[in-house]
């Protein structure tokens, strides 16, 4: 079986996190995540994943994830779990999810209000 340059034999990741990096112009009808420092958080998540030596975990920028009012928005697959990175502790919760696969319910997006 052939391998890619990183030694992988098949495509895909064990866990895949997307952090919204979208920006809207001033006066737009909806807010956006970039002005809420989402790309700094994404870079720190990527570095933390590297520092922990997590294999099979990918963190990357996305376009608008359409939950703009709750941003900075992050979604992790394959669980399909949505987080807002706005709350204190949310960054660590997302990192824990990436490390363990356990959904950190306290920090998931809650649209029930």
Binding stretches for ligand FES (CB under 6 A)? 20, 22, 32-33, 64-68, 71, 73
Least distance (Å) between residue 107 CB and ligand FES: 16
Q: Encoding tokens for residue 89?
A: 């502790």
Rg (CA), the chain: 15
Q: Which is nearer to ligand FES, 65 or 98 (CB)?
A: 65
Token look-up 């999810």 returns: 97
Give 14 or 28: the residue with its C-beta nearer to ligand FES. Answer: 28
Contacts of 25 (CB under 8 A, 6+ apart): none
CB 59 within 8 A of CB 101: no
Question: Rounded to the nearest whole angstrom, what is the least distance from the CB of residue 2 to ligand FES in the complex?
Answer: 37
Closest CB to ligand FES among 77 and 99?
77
């Amino acid at each position: 079986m052939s391998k890619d340059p990183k030694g992988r034999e098949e495509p895909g990741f064990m866990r895949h996190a997307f952090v919204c990096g979208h920006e809207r112009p001033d006066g737009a009808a909806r807010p956006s995540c970039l002005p809420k420092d989402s790309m700094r958080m994404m870079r720190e998540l990527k570095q933390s994943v590297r520092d922990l030596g997590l294999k099979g975990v990918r963190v990357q920028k996305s376009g608008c994830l359409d939950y703009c009012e709750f941003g900075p928005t992050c979604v992790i697959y394959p669980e399909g779990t949505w987080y807002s990175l706005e709350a204190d502790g949310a960054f660590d919760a997302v990192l824990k999810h990436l490390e363990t696969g356990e959904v950190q319910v306290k920090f998931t997006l809650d649209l029930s209000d």
